[in-house]
A and B are shown apart, each in its own frame.
Chain A
């Protein structure tokens, strides 16, 4: 894939609502797809670039959603010893930031807890963590309303003092907000991956002992990656809460993690565009299939398409296309100038 592909995709996505008009059904699908794609991008930072599988990734997403929703709704809870905590509602934008930070903080805790051992241990810790937070959301009814859901979550209001404020009520507005956050996450991940930090992550993934022997602090590097990854998942969760304006403990469903893993693996883990491509395909696929077949058939086709993709391109779509492109122009690697010499 060329350097221009991401830009072209961004331009197409930015123009899409103009072409679609205001078809709410499609816009809604695009928004939720976009939110999940941000989740997939954040998962890819860990799974693709460090090789650590977070099978409880939805926990960070859900924490971002709940923290952001609660911060902007306000709450009053008993915390024991007769102490009550009262929180007055804050603006939704502040909630989004808090949700992002809270998820990042949880990423830090999980990282510190599990990255001394890594591998399977991290997978187990993340799964358990997701289950614990789901149970908290379900049972701490005073705070979260439990299964009754948090409702009337305010829409995001953006603006600057003196310039005016906009409340993002329409689908098109929310679409652009999601697109903006997604683009920001893409750029941040791009910068990280291309830097010394990205090299440290790759080194740890490819040969951990060797990486440590050149002075790379494995625990620290992986923990930082987990913090950034969790924070991005939290931001996605916050967007989700303020867009739908209602959330219940189902935001912690394991199936959402699985969807994100599918997006990353099908699109190509360890590539920048992989989760975007995988996210768009597997986010929109159910929407495209729904009008043409029965629900049971939809999931079978979904599975078959996934299998077909991984059969044809075991490393995912983006690496697969790249390999195809390289085969078509076999001369290009030879002509490529060594960047070290070029400068």
Chain B
């Protein structure tokens, strides 16, 4: 099976700081892979490289066999690689519904050869209607249908994360990168989100997940890639990662023994 996404010896330097040293891994079609590591390990930086927001100092990323080197973000999205953001995930001043309408930008252009001209001549009506239907369906899918008319910026943080996912899904990706999607969600919202992740995968979308919620990561991942200080320190199925001494060391070494124990406890609760 050939990889859908290959990160090939990518390195990123910010001045003297090595954010990513030499990252090398693949994601295969249909997989759910998690990219984990302590704060500052370089996970978001890796996402930024994959989606064209950052040029790597070395190496390259390939998606469906084509190199993404030098491509701007919007073109990478058009190739079928979408992402969510760790910090801001919405267009805050628009309604949730209009957020998704903005997200359907690409779909709109596929419906018409000269959308701008259609607009000026008032010929876009049918396409607009179809886009609205799709937006409503997407909101239904992520469970935000009841929030359609609310301003996205006024939603609870966890719900904003869901808007972000709806926006990414609106681009009809073959692969989705999720950057800490459940931060800000409570336990029950997280459980619902796990179902959504599985459902997205079952609809044919490959997933790469960055997440600090270890129970969730262990639960949904087919494979886990572990980063520490910009270096890949382990890679394998959840069971192997859980037992990997280098991984435990990385998390404990950061002085997060308590968090580790806490995560274990929550995991037990989760099961």
Which listed residue, B53, B82, B128, touches A209 by the CB 8 Å rule? B53
Query: Which chain A residues lie closer than 8 Å to B136 at the CB level?
Result: 340-341
Contact with B along A26-61 (1 / 0, CB 8 A): 000000000000000000000000000000000000
CB distance from A209 to the nearest CB of B (A): 7
Contact across chains for B92 and A206 when beta carbons are under 8 A apart: yes
Instruction: Please report the C-alpha to C-alpha distance between residue A212 and residue B88 in the assembled complex, in whole angstroms.
Output: 13
Contact across chains for A218 and B74 when beta carbons are under 8 A apart: yes
CB distance from B162 to the nearest CB of A (A): 14
Contact across chains for A211 and B102 when beta carbons are under 8 A apart: yes
Query: Which chain A residues lie closer than 8 Å to B133 at the CB level?
Result: 340, 343
Contact with B along A190-234 (1 / 0, CB 8 A): 011001110110110011011111111110000010000000000
Nearest A residue to B106 by beta-carbon distance?
A215
Given the known inter-chain contacts A199-B102, A207-B90, please indicate yes or no for A213 contacting B119, CB distance below 8 A: no
Q: Which of B164-172, B192-200, B239-247 is near enough to bind chain A? A: B164-172
Whether, in the assembled complex, A2 has its beta carbon less than 8 Å from a beta carbon of chain B, the answer is no
Contact across chains for A196 and B119 when beta carbons are under 8 A apart: yes
Contact across chains for A196 and B105 when beta carbons are under 8 A apart: yes
Number of interface residues of B (CB under 8 A): 46
Contact with A along B63-78 (1 / 0, CB 8 A): 0000000001110011
Which listed residue, A188, A203, A338, touches B102 by the CB 8 Å rule? A203
Nearest A residue to B88 by beta-carbon distance?
A207
Whether, in the assembled complex, A161 has its beta carbon less than 8 Å from a beta carbon of chain B, the answer is no
Q: Which of B93-101, B205-213, B220-228 is near enough to bind chain A? A: B93-101
Contact across chains for B120 and A203 when beta carbons are under 8 A apart: no
Contact with A along B127-171 (1 / 0, CB 8 A): 011011101100000000000110000000000000010011011
Contact across chains for A340 and B148 when beta carbons are under 8 A apart: yes
Contact across chains for A192 and B77 when beta carbons are under 8 A apart: no
Instruction: Please report the C-alpha to C-alpha distance between residue A195 and residue B105 in the assembled complex, in whole angstroms.
Output: 10
Query: Which chain A residues lie closer than 8 Å to B119 at the CB level?
Result: 191-192, 195-197
Number of A-B contacts (CB under 8 A): 112
Which listed residue, B88, B102, B149, B167, touches A336 by the CB 8 Å rule? B149
Instruction: Please report the C-alpha to C-alpha distance between residue A199 and residue B107 in the assembled complex, in whole angstroms.
Output: 13
Contact across chains for B92 and A338 when beta carbons are under 8 A apart: no
Contact across chains for B85 and A210 when beta carbons are under 8 A apart: yes
Identify whether the interface residues of A are mostly helix, strand, loop, or mixed: helix
Whether, in the assembled complex, B34 has its beta carbon less than 8 Å from a beta carbon of chain A, the answer is no
Whether, in the assembled complex, B103 has its beta carbon less than 8 Å from a beta carbon of chain A, the answer is yes
Whether, in the assembled complex, A333 has its beta carbon less than 8 Å from a beta carbon of chain B, the answer is yes
Which listed residue, B105, B124, B149, touches A214 by the CB 8 Å rule? B105
Query: Which chain B residues lie closer than 8 Å to A202 at the CB level?
Result: 91, 93-94, 98, 102
Nearest A residue to B177 by beta-carbon distance?
A213
Q: Which of A202, A203, A212, A215 has the most CB atoms of chain B within a 10 A radius of its CB?
A: A215
Query: Which chain A residues lie closer than 8 Å to B72 at the CB level?
Result: 212, 217
Given the known inter-chain contacts A213-B73, A216-B74, A333-B149, please indicate yes or no for A195 contacting B103, CB distance below 8 A: no
CB distance from B151 to the nearest CB of A (A): 10
Contact across chains for B149 and A207 when beta carbons are under 8 A apart: no
Contact across chains for B85 and A203 when beta carbons are under 8 A apart: no
Given the known inter-chain contacts A215-B106, A340-B132, please indicate yes or no for A196 contacting B171, CB distance below 8 A: no
Given the known inter-chain contacts A212-B73, A214-B168, please indicate yes or no for A196 contacting B92, CB distance below 8 A: no
Contact across chains for A213 and B85 when beta carbons are under 8 A apart: yes
Given the known inter-chain contacts A195-B124, A206-B91, please indicate yes or no for A214 contacting B171, CB distance below 8 A: yes
Given the known inter-chain contacts A214-B77, A214-B168, A215-B77, please indicate yes or no for A199 contacting B88, CB distance below 8 A: no
Whether, in the assembled complex, B215 has its beta carbon less than 8 Å from a beta carbon of chain A, the answer is no
Whether, in the assembled complex, A80 has its beta carbon less than 8 Å from a beta carbon of chain B, the answer is no
Contact across chains for A210 and B90 when beta carbons are under 8 A apart: yes
Given the known inter-chain contacts A214-B105, A215-B171, please indicate yes or no for A340 contacting B135, CB distance below 8 A: yes
How many chain A residues sit at the interface, stated as a range, is: 20 to 34
Contact across chains for B88 and A196 when beta carbons are under 8 A apart: no
Which listed residue, A203, A209, A224, A333, touches B105 by the CB 8 Å rule? A203
Q: Which of B85, B91, B167 has the most CB atoms of chain A within a 10 A radius of its CB?
A: B91
Instruction: Please report the C-alpha to C-alpha distance between residue A217 and residue B131 in the assembled complex, in whole angstroms.
Output: 19
Whether, in the assembled complex, A339 has its beta carbon less than 8 Å from a beta carbon of chain B, the answer is yes
Contact across chains for B77 and A203 when beta carbons are under 8 A apart: no
Contact across chains for B97 and A340 when beta carbons are under 8 A apart: yes
Contact with A along B22-45 (1 / 0, CB 8 A): 000000000000000000000000
Instruction: Please report the C-alpha to C-alpha distance between residue A75 and residue B124 in the assembled complex, in whole angstroms.
Output: 44
Contact across chains for A214 and B106 when beta carbons are under 8 A apart: yes
Query: Which chain B residues lie closer than 8 Å to A210 at the CB level?
Result: 85, 88-91, 164, 167
Given the known inter-chain contacts A191-B119, A207-B88, A210-B167, please indicate yes or no for A216 contacting B93, CB distance below 8 A: no
Whether, in the assembled complex, B108 has its beta carbon less than 8 Å from a beta carbon of chain A, the answer is yes
Instruction: Please report the C-alpha to C-alpha distance between residue A214 and residue B122 in the assembled complex, in whole angstroms.
Output: 25
Contact with B along A106-125 (1 / 0, CB 8 A): 00000000000000000000
Query: Which chain B residues lie closer than 8 Å to A336 at the CB level?
Result: 149
23 residue pairs A–B, Cβ–Cβ below 8 Å = A192-B120, A195-B119, A196-B131, A197-B116, A199-B98, A206-B93, A207-B91, A209-B73, A212-B72, A212-B74, A212-B77, A213-B168, A214-B170, A214-B171, A215-B74, A215-B77, A215-B171, A216-B74, A217-B72, A333-B149, A336-B149, A341-B136, A343-B132
A contacts, CB < 8 Å to B = 188, 191-192, 195-197, 199-200, 202-203, 206-207, 209-218, 224, 333, 336, 338-341, 343
| Further contacts, 11 of them, CB under 8 A, given A188-B120, A191-B122, A202-B102 | A192-B119, A195-B119, A206-B92, A207-B90, A209-B88, A210-B88, A213-B74, A213-B85, A213-B167, A340-B97, A343-B129
Closest 4 CB pairs of A and B: A215-B106, A195-B119, A215-B77, A212-B73
